[in-house]
Structure 1
Amino acid sequence: MSSSEKLDLTSPDFVNENFEKLAELFPNCVTESAEGKAIDFDLLKQELSHAVVEGNKERYRLEWPGKKEAIVTANLPTTKTLRPVREDSVDFDNTENLYIEGDNLEVLKLLQESYLGKIKMIYIDPPYNTGKDFVYKDNFSNDRQEELLDSGQIDELNQRLIANPETSGRYHSDWLSMIYPRLKLSRNLLTDDGVIFISIGEDEVQNLKKICEEIFGGNNFIAQIVWQKKFSRANDATYFSTMHDYILCVAKKHKLNDPIGFELQLLPRTLEEASGYSNPDNDPRGEWTSVVLSTKSGSASLIYEIVTPSGRKCFPPDGRFWGVKKSKFEELVEDNRIWFGKNGEGIPRLKTFFSEVQSGLRPNTLWFHEEVGHNQEGRQELKKLFDDKGYFDGPKPVRLLKQILHVANTKDSIILDFFSGSATTAHATFLLNTEDGGNRKFIQVQLPEAIDEDSEAFKDGFKNICEIGQERIRRASKKIKEETGADIDYGFRVYRLDESNMEDVYYKPQEYSQDKLDLFADNVKSDRTPDDLLAQVMLDWGLPLSLKIEKANIEGKNVFKVAENSLYACFDEGIDEALAKALAEEKPLRIVFKDSGFKDDTAKTNVKQLLKQLSPETEMKVI
């Protein structure tokens, strides 16, 4: 018997029936509560009254069930860390580009000190909340067992992604609670002249705009761009064929309100867009246009006779003056910068060459696919890299990200994308650097979402989205290097979100009795490497993970040197006075050891005193 043939065997649910009737009569009174869809009875009372009904104080702001929890979520600290994955990286020790695997909320928290105010541009393409996409589930009431399972990755027992169908009673609320803390944390990372671009669809664009105005300030909203994402209409649409998506542009500080705020870079002008340019005299400097040489004001020295090539004598028009003195005019004639018309008898005009015009075009809010590409183009770009296999349904085209990177004025800046997906942002960064000589560096963050076992990507050996994204970066960089030969940074360091490198006793020693403390002679977990410890130390000390890392052997000990003398780290055993003296000669700004790494308690005391005496500027810490 099919489900449609089964008897209900329950009495009528009059509450639900009444709800649906009210929702049909008063759709504006339907809202979302913590339990799901609900009726706003205060608003319903108002609909049924000719007088103003007293109720909750009105204010202009976006509210939803879970907003306060979303704010708390953003403020909760984390003890997680990032562990380097050298085997998946390219040129790990030298590159300044990063690819981070893990839940972007936790990652954003970990980046707060190292990248505070250092990111020039953020671009994100979050789930659109169409009813088919998945949203992140941020559950911070996990018990200890769940915390041990949660390493920032999808897990059968602790899933980070949940479906959010349109029938959900918290359809909008869940999505807003997901995006709010991430945007709140991302603002801290932007430079004062920084900017964020967010791709979004119809379902949440208005809510997202309100959230951005709340987090960044209404005065800092720059533009709502309409991008033509499709090149042909879909005739199977129920009503209108949706041809576009939106891209919101919001500044950390608006230039109108703050002199150090975001300054947009103009788009380069092409001859097709710059009307009036031609080259009738075949000037080797290229196309030019001409402007009048006379002005409305001047002195007597600017009134003089000019003889054209045809022999015609002319003066400035009545009441006007030549724009340059006679000596300067003669220099311009000698340089072929004066145009007397086709027959050499016209009133002289000054030639202005297109190659010398510095101003560009101010971008508009309509971006057509001819200009920046479309989704199908983005898919084809991936297929060219992966042997005619697309893997992603609608990746953003490289041309779109290149335009965003350009107008964001990012030439020598750090770019962050914490919904990396197919890694188009990294691809575009490489390509634009080769084209304009830029030195942009990227940080890509992506949750390692498991790939469907029936998919083409899984059959080709990819287990999660991060593996595809990283391989896309490798292949794109190789292709760009082969085609351009440009000398840029093609590498990237891979880091993976995980639980802290330290045992619990490191954070909560008060919860352990003395006899239990003796069990933890080493605070560090047994499976962690010196590379792991260095990454956590860099984050804790607020140092960017992109800094150059060198390895040295000093007094028989392995020592990391970060950004020359910015940080020295040694996690070997048997640290003694000889090593301290050798390190002091190099005058590092910071140095860190394992607490259990000293030869004995006396050596620990002596090392500290020696560094203080021989290199007083060095700050020493232990973990």
Structure 2
Amino acid sequence: MLNEQPAVDGIEKIAKETPDLTEENVQKLIELFPDVATEVRDPVTGEVVKGVNPEALLDRIGKTAGGGYPVARERYQFTWPGKRAAKAEARTPIAKTLRPVQQRSKNWDETKNLYIEGDNLDALKILRETYAGKIKMIYIDPPYNTGHDFIYKDDFAKTVDADKAESGDYDEDGGRLVANPESNGRFHSDWCSMMYSRLLLAKDLLTSDGVIFISIDDNESAGLRFICDEVFGSLCFVGDVSWQRTYSPRNDSQGLVNEVEHIIVYSKNPGWQPKTLSRTAQMDAKYKNPDKDYIEWTSSDPFAPNAVTHQGMVYAVQHPFTGAMIYPTNGRCWSFEQPQMLQYMNGWCEYELKDIDDAEQRAKVCGIASSEVRAGVKALVLIKPLDVSKAEAQVVYDRGHWPRFYFTRGGQGGIRRKTYLDSVGGKLPTNLWPYSEVGHTDEAKKEIKALFDGQPPFDTPKPVRLITRMLNIATDKDSLILDFFSGSSTTAHAVIAKNADDHGARRFILVQLPERTSGDYTDICEVGEDRIRRAGEKIRSNIETTNQQPNLDGKQQAVPDIGFRVLRIESSNYKDVRLTPDQFTQDDLDASIENERPGRTPLDLLFEALPSFQLEYSSSIATLTGEPFDGYTVFSVNDGQLLACFDANIPESLVRAMANHDPRPSYVVVAEKSLPNSAARTNFEEIFKQAANAIDGATKIRII
């Protein structure tokens, strides 16, 4: 939640910037170790604030990464010039907001999808307030480090001269100490810093069972692994997927031909397991039904491992055709316990449990001395004479539909176990994704070319099938998916297509910096937004065409959410009033109640307030009409969960209408200019208190 400011006449005031994560961390440390708290003077404001005494903290912990030796002791780590600044950049608060851009959106009122225009570092900081712990899957395809400057210019990006001084690539006289310092130093450092700060924030957004997929090439794959190990933890490393990106490698390449790209996968917590994939016809081909059972099956090993720890499952089973005693192979046991096994064998003829004094044989199977084997484990033996039992078993064999454990070679061979097709589940995903299964770069270019009438506006898209593979193994039907390097919006295309395929309600949040582009589009954001429109309309058209076909038995496929709200990152809707007393003029004091920036709309103000109430930017928004709302703009968010009005000097009649609204609002937010003086604010509070006594539950009131 946004950090709250001091109350104004008892009404809490909403902050105008994202939280200071450094302050959050300080508070957490002090809560754990109260004795490390100290007071320091803020070098900017001059105020005395709480801090952490580093020496006291080290003494409290009792051991450092250096094992008690001086901090400068060498240790295993991955670092680069600018790393500390990148970490600080992730914690630094910003006074920015998301402004709605309705004219570039599609299905504004109904959609739950978001498209954010702006720097993704800012976007992640803003999204963290509302979406922390809510994102099931993140996919990013960041710019690869090709030895050139890239467009994400954060505060920690350094000049060449600064990098020379810090990195040690040059001596005191300016001479080179390493070959090709442009690629070995500055660009690697800038790329690592750019990714590090963003991944620190991205981790906070993932659900406890969330996962992130990161596309990367060979240049930075090793460094990315180190960064992710630090951010997510090495135990959360899921795999390094090799995507076969091309089906026709170039023969003019130098050295090894680049046929695959990496997809680095990390989970929020250790132990993440992917969902299985659909089975293929080739996988199912080995399942047969020679005995006319209820479903196809394949022959499996009847034994399981760990005999010595499962001695109750080490016993003899008498063969119904030959009379021989069958034991598990050495070191193994039966895959079922005796009661279940007895039921299966009774499907051939009558069996009973009987002590046959076979401790020595069972001990041999377990690999232990006969004195150590479990006593009292009986065998499954025939009740009737062998010739009678054999005749009964032969009838079963000739009839078909054999029991779960059956005998090979017409009943005269060894014992095997049936594994039924409906019990094996799907295909486990591997770390090799061939183009035949997930597409290749040429397929991706053809996809976007077809959407844009043969004139593709984007050169390096990813294939929809590649993102679909990730959705298949990492999401549920109602999952929220984030892509904060969204490019041509392949992720949105894949989410809509997947929802159409399995009737899902997945939602996406895309973030893209509006980089300039050539052709008919001004920037990449226009390309991405137009692709979502075109892909969504194509999917809708295909569904409607299918629904019109005869013989569907009334089964109409629903059109998924093909819309999106466009939001743009801009400065706060409010002027910067974070001034020290000596910086205020009388004009500033007189104008402080009118703190909105020119040109900002009530809807803009509402969107800046939403994070304070943990309300998502996709929340439903309606404008209340009729008496006494006529002439005022009063928003109802999520059917009255939040009521908001930012008009000046709102009358008492409007306040009473908001206080008594049905359903009763959980939150109400107004602007400072709505209640211009202490008397108005006191009256505002009193009206809501009276309503709370009349109607069960109290409304939280905020002022922005």
- TM-score class, shorter-chain normalisation, is 0.7 to 0.9
For 2:535, give the aligned amino acid.
A
* 3-state SS of 2:633 partner: strand
Instruction: Give the 3 Å change call, closer, same or farther, for CA 302–517 of structure 1 in structure 2.
Output: closer
Deviation at 1:112, TM superposition (A): 1.3
Deviation at 1:168, TM superposition (A): 7.3
CA distance in 2, matches of 1:62, 1:140: 18
Instruction: Give the 3 Å change call, closer, same or farther, for CA 417–593 of structure 1 in structure 2.
Output: same
For 1:608, give the aligned amino acid.
E
* 1:216 and 2:232 are equivalent in the alignment: yes
Q: Residues 20-419 of structure 1: matches in 2 within 5 Å?
A: 57-132=73-148, 134-139=150-155, 166-167=182-183, 169-255=185-271, 262-278=272-288, 287-289=296-298, 298=338, 302=343, 338=402, 353-354=420-421, 356-357=422-423, 359-419=425-485
Q: Counterpart of 2:702? A: 621
CA distance in 2, matches of 1:178, 1:432: 31
Percent identity over paired residues: 43
* 3-state SS of 1:445 partner: strand
Q: Counterpart of 2:674? A: 597
Instruction: Give the 3 Å change call, closer, same or farther, for CA 303–409 of structure 1 in structure 2.
Output: closer
Q: Counterpart of 1:50? A: none
What is the TM-score when the length of structure 2 is the normalising length? 0.67
For 2:490, give the aligned amino acid.
T
Q: Residues 579-594 of structure 1: matches in 2 within 5 Å?
A: 579-586=654-661, 587-594=664-671
Q: Counterpart of 1:572? A: 647
* 3-state SS of 2:211 partner: strand
CA distance in 2, matches of 1:241, 1:594: 61
Higher alpha-carbon Rg:
2
CA distance in 2, matches of 1:569, 1:351: 65
Instruction: Give the 3 Å change call, closer, same or farther, for CA 170–301 of structure 1 in structure 2.
Output: closer
* 3-state SS of 1:111 partner: helix
* 3-state SS of 2:466 partner: helix
CA distance in 1, matches of 2:342, 2:222: 62
- Residue-by-residue CA offset, 1:335-359 (whole Å, 9 max, x unaligned): 9954899x997699987653x2352
Deviation at 1:166, TM superposition (A): 4.9
Worse-matched range after superposition: 227-236 or 465-474: 227-236
Deviation at 1:411, TM superposition (A): 2.8
- Residue-by-residue CA offset, 1:493-548 (whole Å, 9 max, x unaligned): 10001111001236767631234321344111120001111110012333211222
Deviation at 1:396, TM superposition (A): 0.7
Worse-matched range after superposition: 356-365 or 285-294: 285-294
For 2:130, give the aligned amino acid.
S
**Unpaired segments ≥5 residues, structure 2:** 1-69, 159-179, 303-316, 318-333, 357-378, 383-392, 544-556
Contact 1:263-1:409 within 8 A present in 2 as well: no
Instruction: Give the 3 Å change call, closer, same or farther, for CA 548–250 of structure 1 in structure 2.
Output: same
CA distance in 2, matches of 1:352, 1:479: 42
Contact 1:81-1:110 within 8 A present in 2 as well: yes
- Residue-by-residue CA offset, 1:90-121 (whole Å, 9 max, x unaligned): 11122111000000001111111101111111
**Unpaired segments ≥5 residues, structure 1:** 1-53, 143-163, 256-261, 308-312, 323-328, 453-457
Instruction: Give the 3 Å change call, closer, same or farther, for CA 314–105 of structure 1 in structure 2.
Output: same
* 3-state SS of 2:218 partner: coil
Contact 1:104-1:447 within 8 A present in 2 as well: yes
CA distance in 1, matches of 2:256, 2:345: 67
CA distance in 2, matches of 1:372, 1:432: 14
- Residue-by-residue CA offset, 1:347-392 (whole Å, 9 max, x unaligned): 99987653x2352222111111111111111111101100012222
Contact 2:111-2:561 within 8 A present in 1 as well: yes
* 3-state SS of 2:241 partner: strand
Q: Counterpart of 2:584? A: 512
Q: Counterpart of 1:473? A: 532
Out of 550, 553, 558, the residue aligned to residue 622 of structure 2 is 550
Q: Counterpart of 2:164? A: none
* 3-state SS of 1:197 partner: strand
CA distance in 2, matches of 1:433, 1:276: 32
CA distance in 2, matches of 1:90, 1:281: 57
CA distance in 1, matches of 2:346, 2:74: 75
* 3-state SS of 1:193 partner: strand
* 3-state SS of 2:197 partner: helix
* 3-state SS of 1:267 partner: coil
Instruction: Give the 3 Å change call, closer, same or farther, for CA 367–166 of structure 1 in structure 2.
Output: farther
For 2:637, give the aligned amino acid.
V
Q: Counterpart of 1:36? A: none
C-alpha RMSD of matched pairs (Å): 3.5
CA distance in 2, matches of 1:188, 1:301: 53
CA distance in 1, matches of 2:71, 2:636: 63
* 3-state SS of 2:591 partner: coil
Contact 2:149-2:187 within 8 A present in 1 as well: no
For 1:620, give the aligned amino acid.
I
Q: Counterpart of 1:48? A: none
Contact 2:291-2:402 within 8 A present in 1 as well: no
CA distance in 1, matches of 2:181, 2:522: 25
Q: Counterpart of 1:19? A: none
Instruction: Give the 3 Å change call, closer, same or farther, for CA 550–66 of structure 1 in structure 2.
Output: same
* 3-state SS of 1:439 partner: coil
For 1:530, give the aligned amino acid.
P
CA distance in 2, matches of 1:572, 1:56: 59
Deviation at 1:564, TM superposition (A): 2.2
Instruction: Give the 3 Å change call, closer, same or farther, for CA 188–509 of structure 1 in structure 2.
Output: farther
Deviation at 1:393, TM superposition (A): 2.0
* 1:423 and 2:489 are equivalent in the alignment: yes
For 1:370, give the aligned amino acid.
S
For 1:383, give the aligned amino acid.
K
Q: Counterpart of 1:498? A: 570
For 1:277, give the aligned amino acid.
Y
Contact 2:347-2:403 within 8 A present in 1 as well: no
* 1:463 and 2:522 are equivalent in the alignment: yes
- Residue-by-residue CA offset, 1:284-314 (whole Å, 9 max, x unaligned): x76544669987764697498768xxxxx89
- Residue-by-residue CA offset, 1:260-306 (whole Å, 9 max, x unaligned): xx3321122223124521356888x7654466998776469749876
Contact 1:123-1:198 within 8 A present in 2 as well: yes
Instruction: Give the 3 Å change call, closer, same or farther, for CA 297–254 of structure 1 in structure 2.
Output: closer
CA distance in 2, matches of 1:478, 1:336: 54
What is the TM-score when the length of structure 1 is the normalising length? 0.76
Instruction: Give the 3 Å change call, closer, same or farther, for CA 130–576 of structure 1 in structure 2.
Output: same
Q: Counterpart of 1:448? A: 514
- Residue-by-residue CA offset, 1:397-420 (whole Å, 9 max, x unaligned): 011101111111343211110000
Instruction: Give the 3 Å change call, closer, same or farther, for CA 301–277 of structure 1 in structure 2.
Output: closer
Q: Counterpart of 2:327? A: none
